[in-house]
């Protein structure tokens, strides 16, 4: 084995694809490249003093002796290869190009719905264990610098309409056993398929290479292809992100960048969403205290949002984000409703379930018209007269240690909307008034 410690920089500014820790851009990027690890790639955008757009990771790379060689991760290259090797086909959707004030870009020959076939093979490519930490030490609560296995694999990528017909070698990386992600850059002038730019305005706009993200789980493929479009404007460079294609192509994915879509019964780490919901079913009833001090009990039940629900797993930790339909019923009759929430289950170092967080995500962005609020959430005796909209903030932390221990709170706010004209100076904006608040949980 040989060891090498180098700094690696991760770009967070222009595109989601640039910030993913499984593709740091140092050793472990495409074989044959020899990037200078001391240089941060220049994206052409002035980030201002301090390069605040960068997260720096320090990485120690160990080249492993074979596919079954052990590392500190609880799986080997054999496990990763058994997940990724072979041919898979998925539906895909081509992007619509770019139509913004900054630039306009059209591409072809394929458009709309399509099909993508990926064939991954392994031919004794190098296998690396990458230990990654934030440069300068400190905690890494968001998993920006994940430890991972990287395996150099051979890839054939073909789209049904001929736009893509690519063959290349690239590293596929895994921080958890059942999710692997490959990233690769396709230079436009080196694309082997028929993909082409049909129109670019203004003429001096620059369209960057195709950035490919290909993820593999036991449930199939996920990912996207993007490009950066840059335009020189006086002494500045304007840049924007363009979606070229995504897969799977049916429906809108509930998952964010850095997450993989999974079926509810599929585990990314040591547990599945189904097991999380089975555990939450043990809660049954909790104590509910209204703002007046009155107490009652609240029955609460978490279920999948619908029969088609996919859950989202962090590709660096396996933590799950589960869209749920949460049903509540208070013994005093004031609350009888069902509404969407999110359940997030963290992963401990041994792969077991950690803390669970249940909440209405971004409640201030989920405002409900005042006349529909009571019906939407099933809450009685909340006076929204004189308000335009209402907000329910409802969340809890649930400790996974034996029987569930729940520590939750809620707040109901009335919103008075104030429309600010474009030239307003000092416009007060919307105003918020707390109408009810309290707590819910186990004693």
More confident of the two residues 352 and 322:
322
Residue 356 has pLDDT above 70, yes or no: yes
Q: Starting from the edge strand earliest in sequence, which strands make up the sheet with 98-99, in order? A: 98-99, 104-108, 196-201
Tens of pLDDT, residue by residue over 295-346, are 999 999 999 998 889 999 999 999 999 999 999 999 999 999 999 999 999 9
Average of per-residue pLDDT across 57-75: 94
Confidence label for 426 from pLDDT (cuts 50, 70 and 90): low
Cis status of the peptide bond prior to 287, with omega within 30 of 0: no
Place of tokens 């034996």: 402
Confidence label for 76 from pLDDT (cuts 50, 70 and 90): very high
Helix or strand or coil: residue 12?
coil
- Are residues 335 and 328 in contact, defined by beta-carbon separation less than 8 angstroms? yes
Average of per-residue pLDDT across 141-156: 88
Of 304, 300, 250, the closest CA to residue 275 belongs to 304
Cis status of the peptide bond prior to 135, with omega within 30 of 0: no
Tens of pLDDT, residue by residue over 12-64, are 233 333 333 343 333 333 333 333 333 333 333 333 333 334 578 999 999 99
Q: What tokens were used for 334?
A: 């004031």
Confidence label for 442 from pLDDT (cuts 50, 70 and 90): confident
Nearest-angstrom CA–CA distance, 262 and 274: 11
Tens of pLDDT, residue by residue over 265-291, are 999 988 999 999 999 999 989 999 999
Provide the pLDDT for residue 142.
62
Provide the pLDDT for residue 251.
67
Nearest-angstrom CA–CA distance, 213 and 211: 7
Provide the pLDDT for residue 427.
73
User: What's the chain's average pLDDT?
Assistant: 86
Provide the pLDDT for residue 443.
58
Provide the pLDDT for residue 233.
86
Element at 372 (helix H, strand E): helix 370-377
Question: DSSP character for 365?
Answer: G
Provide the pLDDT for residue 322.
97
Between CA 276 and CA 283, with CA 277 as vertex, the angle to 5 degrees is 105
Between CA 395 and CA 185, with CA 263 as vertex, the angle to 5 degrees is 100
DSSP characters over 378-420:
TB-S---TT-SEEEEEEEEEEE-SSS-EEEEEEEEEEEE--PP
Question: Judging by DSSP bridges, how do beta strands 259-262 and 431-441 pair with one another?
Answer: unpaired
**pTM given for the model:** 0.81
Provide the pLDDT for residue 84.
98
Q: What tokens were used for 191?
A: 């694309």
Average of per-residue pLDDT across 410-416: 97
- Are residues 210 and 188 in contact, defined by beta-carbon separation less than 8 angstroms? yes
Could you report how far apart the first and last alpha carbons of the chain are, in Å?
A: 54
Confidence label for 11 from pLDDT (cuts 50, 70 and 90): very low
Provide the pLDDT for residue 17.
34
Provide the pLDDT for residue 51.
36
Provide the pLDDT for residue 54.
58
Helix or strand or coil: residue 295?
strand
- Are residues 183 and 222 in contact, defined by beta-carbon separation less than 8 angstroms? no
């Amino acid at each position: 084995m040989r060891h090498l410690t180098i700094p690696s920089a991760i770009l967070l500014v222009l595109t989601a694809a640039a910030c993913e820790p499984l593709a740091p851009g140092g050793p472990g990027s495409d074989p044959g490249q020899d990037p200078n690890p001391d240089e941060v790639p220049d994206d052409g955008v002035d980030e201002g003093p301090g390069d605040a757009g960068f997260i720096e990771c320090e990485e120690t790379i160990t080249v492993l002796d074979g596919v079954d060689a052990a590392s500190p991760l609880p799986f080997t290259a054999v496990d990763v290869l058994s997940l990724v090797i072979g041919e898979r086909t998925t539906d895909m959707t081509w992007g619509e190009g770019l139509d913004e004030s900054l630039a306009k870009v059209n591409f072809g020959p394929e458009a709309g719905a399509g099909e993508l076939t990926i064939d991954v093979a392994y031919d004794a490519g190098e296998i690396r264990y990458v230990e990654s930490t934030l440069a300068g030490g400190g905690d890494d609560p968001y998993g920006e610098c994940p430890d991972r296995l990287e395996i150099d694999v051979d890839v054939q990528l073909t789209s049904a309409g001929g736009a893509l017909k690519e063959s290349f070698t690239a590293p596929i990386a895994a921080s958890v056993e059942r999710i692997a992600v490959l990233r690769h850059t396709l230079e436009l002038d080196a694309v082997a398929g028929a993909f082409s730019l049909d129109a670019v305005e203004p003429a001096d706009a620059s369209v960057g290479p195709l950035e490919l993200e290909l993820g593999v789980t036991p449930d199939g493929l996920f990912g996207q292809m993007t490009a950066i479009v840059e335009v020189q404007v006086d002494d500045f460079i304007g840049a924007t992100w363009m979606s070229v294609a995504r897969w799977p192509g049916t429906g809108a994915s509930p998952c964010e960048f850095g997450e993989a879509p999974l079926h509810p019964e599929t585990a990314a780490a040591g547990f599945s969403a189904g097991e999380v919901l089975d555990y939450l079913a043990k809660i049954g009833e909790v104590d509910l205290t209204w703002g007046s001090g009155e107490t009652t009990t609240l029955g609460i039940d978490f279920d999948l949002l619908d029969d088609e629900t996919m859950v989202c797993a962090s590709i660096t930790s396996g933590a799950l984000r589960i869209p749920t339909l949460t049903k509540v019923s208070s013994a005093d009759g004031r609350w009888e409703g069902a509404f969407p929430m999110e359940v997030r289950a963290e992963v401990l170092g041994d792969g077991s379930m950690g803390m669970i967080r249940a909440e209405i995500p971004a409640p201030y962005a989920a405002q409900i018209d005042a006349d529909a609020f009571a019906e939407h959430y099933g809450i009685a005796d909340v006076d929204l007269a004189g308000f335009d909209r209402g907000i329910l903030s409802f969340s809890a932390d649930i400790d996974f240690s034996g029987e569930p221990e729940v520590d939750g709170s809620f707040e109901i706010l009335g919103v008075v909307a104030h429309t600010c004209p474009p030239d307003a100076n000092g416009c007060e904006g919307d105003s918020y008034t707390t109408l009810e608040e309290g707590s819910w949980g186990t004693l």
